[in-house]
Each structure stands twice: as structure tokens, then as C-alpha cells.
Amino acid sequence: MITHTIKIRRQWNSYRIATTLLEYLEKFHWDNVSGGVCQRSPQYFLHATVLCTAIDGDFDHSCEHGPPPHEIKVCIVKKDNKEVWQQLLNLVGTPKPQIKKKIKLSSF
């Protein structure tokens, strides 16, 4: 069985990048709100959930809200995972949503 290492972040723009195995990721979905501090992003990014004990490396998570293991939301960025991106898109199963831009109405 071939297993893939996936690079994950807590927020889309975090400099801390950790890894986990693809088989540990679940609940793939598009979102524009991160896990943890619930930071809003400028576009939708691929997210999934993983047990906090299945993460290797420097990651923005402290287990302050309860003892491990527990499920956390992680962000998966295309530039970190180019070699497996199509496989990840197949797992999410839906196209990436677009942010709706607010239209300013001019006053008359």
C-alpha cells in the first residue's frame, strides 16, 4: 500500500507546517474559516480533520481544551502538496467555492 505524507497548517498563511499521513485525514471540505482561532481567509481552502496525536512537526495546537487525542481541523494548501493535489481534490468531491464579492451601491 502506498501512503502519502500530507503537509498541513492550522491556518492558510501559517509559517508552521507539519505533516500527517493521508490515511489519518477525514472529513475533507472547503472552508474559509480555519480551525483553532477561527481565522477567516481571503478564499476557500481545503480542510480536513485529524487526531492531534497523528501530526508530526511544528503545529499551532496546544491541547489546552482537553487531553489528547482529539480531532482538530487542519488546512491543506496546494503549494505544499502539489504532487498529491489531484488525489486530494478527488477526496473532497466538490468544486472549490468562490467568495462572493460585495457590490457597492452608488447613492443617487
**Cell 482538530 sits at which residue?**
72
Alpha carbon 18 to its chain centroid, in Å, reads: 12
* Least confident residue range of 24-33, 45-54, 57-66, 74-83: 57-66
Pairwise CA distance, residues 22 & 49, whole Å: 11
Q: Give the CA count within 13 Å in the CB-facing half-sphere of 50.
A: 25
At 11-39, the pLDDT tens digits run 999 999 999 999 999 999 999 998 877 88
Helix, strand or coil for residue 97? coil
